[in-house]
Amino acid sequence: MHIEEITVKELKNKMDNKEAFTLIDVREPHEYNMSNIEGALHIPLGELGNELSSFNKNGYYILQCRSGKRSAAACELMQSAGFTNVVNLQGGILSWAEEIDGSLEVQ
């Protein structure tokens, strides 16, 4: 299964241009509460499967975690459920904090 990736700079451009997509943060609650990307929908990876029926399979989704590994697994989960426009945020919130928003505290 091929997982498409997007860089944090590409995500920032999409946000600045107000493009239509849903950003889903699949980290655990304590991680999300510490720092998150504004506008991200928080659904921990373990709960994502139960939430998929509420999403449009034709929507455009960008999945994000700490470094990109859990969000890659989330992309695979969504693809196997029939979602076609699913993209992984390369480097996760670590890259976002490093390249876009240095004010975020990330562990």
DSSP state string for 5-19: EE-HHHHHHHHHTT-
Comparing C-alpha atoms, which of 91, 97, 85, 107 is closest to residue 38? 97
Strands 85-89 and 22-25, bridge-based pairing:
unpaired
Catalytic residue list: 65
Residue 79: exposure state from Cβ atoms within 10 A (0-12, 13-18, ≥19):
middle
b/e map of 46-61 (b: 16 or more CB within 10 Å)? eebeeeeeebeeeeeb
